[in-house]
C-alpha cells in the first residue's frame, strides 16, 4: 500500500470481497440488513448505530426506537461484527464528573445516532441528546456495561457530534452540525476543540453543501480515520426531492493538523439509497453511516449504516480507494 493507515490490525474485521462486476467504490454485504428492526422484542427499528473492536470481538451502542417510538440507546456485543446481541434495557448513564450537575444533564428524554471511539484509556460515546431540543451528549464507558455521562458539548440545537480518535495539537477534537429543532433544511460541518472533554471552543468551519446529492445539508458520519494523506471522513449528504429528503454518503480528506482545512471532497456519492432496505422503511431513502471498522494492515473498511431509519446494514471498501475517490474529481 502506498498510503499509511494509522491504527492497529483487525484481522477479524467483517469482510466480503468485491463482487465480480461491482463498479462502485463500496459494495454492500450480501447479508444485509445485518440487524432487523425487531431484534429486540420492544424495538420498532434499530439503525444509525456505532460499533468498535472490543476484547478480540466487537461492542457497540445502538439506536433502538421502541414501539412507542421513543429514541433510545442500547449497548450490544458481537463475536463477528455481524450477528449482534443487544441489551434489552436501554443505557442508563451514571454521572461521575464532579463538575456535572446530574439532575440537569442526566435528565434522559431521548438519545439517538450514537458514535463510539477509543481515546487514550476509554470508549467515548457521543449522541444526539435531548436538552430542550437536540444537542451533542458526551459520555464514556470502559466495559459497555456502565456508562458515564459528561456535560453536553454544545448548546442546542446540534446533531452529528463526531469525535476524532486522538487529541489534535493537544486538544480533543469534534465535528458537529448545528441545526434547528425540527427536520433541519440546512446544515454545515464545524470543528471544535476542548482541553478536557468539557469546555468546547475554537470553532472552525469545515464544509457545507454542494450540488446534487449533498445540496440540502451535510453531516459527519463515522469517526475519522487517520492516514498519511489526512483524516478520511465519511459523511452524509442530503438532497431535497419532491418526496422529501434523500440521504446519501460521500467521502472527504481533512488536514491532519488543521482538520477544518479540506484537502479533497467527493463530487459523487459513495453510496445512495438503492436497495429495498434503504428505500422502504420508516423514513424512505436513507443511508446513514455512523461507524466504520478498519484493518490498518490490509486497508479493509467495514462501514455500518442505517437503512431507511429502520435497520442496520454493512458495506465494504478499501481506505486507499476511498482516498482516491475523494481526490478524483474533487470539489476542492
CB nearer to ligand BMA: give 62 or 172: 62
Secondary structure of residue 295 in the 3-state scheme: strand
User: For ligand BMA, which stretch binds (CB under 6 A), given 49-57, 84-92, 280-288, 313-321?
Assistant: 280-288
Closest approach, Cβ 179 to ligand BMA, in A, equals 8
Secondary structure of residue 199 in the 3-state scheme: coil
Closest approach, Cβ 274 to ligand BMA, in A, equals 16
| Contact of 217 with 184, CB cutoff 8 Å | yes
Q: 63-82 as b/e, with b when 16 or more CB fall inside 10 Å? A: bbbbeeebbbbbbbbbeebe
73 binds ligand BMA (CB under 6 A): no
Count of positions (residues) in the chain: 332
| Residues in contact with 237: Cβ distance below 8 Å, sequence separation at least 6, in sequence order | 209, 210, 213, 214, 215, 216, 217, 218, 247, 248, 249, 250, 269
Strand 85-86: give its sheet, edge to edge.
Answer: 43-54, 57-66, 71-78, 85-86
* Binding-residue pattern over the window 148 to 187 for ligand BMA, x denoting contact by CB under 6 A: ----------------------------------------
Instruction: Specify the DSSP element, H or E, that contains 159.
Output: strand 158-163
286 binds ligand BMA (CB under 6 A): yes
309 binds ligand BMA (CB under 6 A): yes
48 binds ligand BMA (CB under 6 A): yes
Closest approach, Cβ 226 to ligand BMA, in A, equals 26
From the list 190, 288, 304, 305, which residue makes contact with ligand BMA (rule: CB under 6 A)? 288
65 binds ligand BMA (CB under 6 A): no
Tell me which residues touch ligand BMA (CB under 6 A). Answer: 48, 112-113, 247, 283, 286, 288, 306, 309
Amino acid at each position: 500500500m502506498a498510503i499509511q493507515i494509522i491504527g492497529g490490525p483487525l484481522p477479524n474485521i467483517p469482510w466480503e470481497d468485491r463482487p465480480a462486476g461491482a463498479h462502485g467504490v463500496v459494495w454492500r454485504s450480501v447479508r444485509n440488513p445485518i440487524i432487523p428492526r425487531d431484534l429486540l422484542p420492544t424495538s420498532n427499528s434499530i439503525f444509525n448505530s456505532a460499533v468498535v473492536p472490543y476484547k478480540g470481538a466487537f461492542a457497540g451502542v445502538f439506536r433502538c426506537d421502541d414501539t412507542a417510538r421513543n429514541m433510545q440507546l442500547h449497548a450490544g456485543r458481537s463475536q463477528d461484527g455481524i450477528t449482534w446481541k443487544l441489551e434489552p434495557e436501554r443505557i442508563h448513564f451514571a454521572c461521575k464528573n464532579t463538575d456535572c450537575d446530574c439532575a440537569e444533564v442526566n435528565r434522559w428524554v431521548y438519545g439517538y445516532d450514537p458514535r463510539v471511539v477509543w481515546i487514550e484509556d476509554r470508549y467515548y460515546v457521543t449522541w444526539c441528546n435531548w436538552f430542550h431540543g437536540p444537542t451533542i451528549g458526551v459520555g464514556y464507558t470502559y466495559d459497555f456495561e456502565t456508562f458515564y455521562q459528561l456535560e453536553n458539548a454544545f448548546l442546542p440545537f446540534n446533531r452529528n457530534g463526531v469525535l476524532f480518535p486522538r487529541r489534535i495539537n493537544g486538544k480533543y477534537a469534534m465535528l458537529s452540525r448545528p441545526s434547528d429543532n425540527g427536520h433541519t433544511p440546512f446544515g454545515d460541518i464545524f470543528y471544535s476543540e476542548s482541553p478536557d472533554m468539557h469546555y468546547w471552543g475554537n470553532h472552525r468551519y469545515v464544509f457545507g453543501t454542494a450540488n446534487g446529492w449533498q445540496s440540502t445539508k451535510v453531516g459527519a458520519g463515522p469517526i475519522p480515520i487517520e492516514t498519511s494523506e489526512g483524516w478520511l471522513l465519511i459523511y452524509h449528504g442530503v438532497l431535497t426531492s419532491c418526496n422529501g429528503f434523500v440521504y446519501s454518503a460521500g467521502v472527504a480528506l481533512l488536514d491532519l493538523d488543521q482538520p477544518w482545512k479540506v484537502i479533497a471532497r467527493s463530487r459523487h456519492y459513495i453510496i445512495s439509497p438503492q436497495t429495498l432496505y434503504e428505500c422502504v422503511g420508516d423514513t424512505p431513502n436513507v443511508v446513514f453511516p455512523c461507524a466504520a471498522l478498519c484493518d490498518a494492515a490490509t486497508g479493509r473498511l467495514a462501514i455500518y449504516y442505517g437503512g431507511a431509519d429502520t435497520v442496520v446494514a454493512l458495506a465494504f471498501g478499501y481506505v486507499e480507494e476511498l482516498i482516491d475517490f475523494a481526490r478524483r474529481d474533487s470539489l476542492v
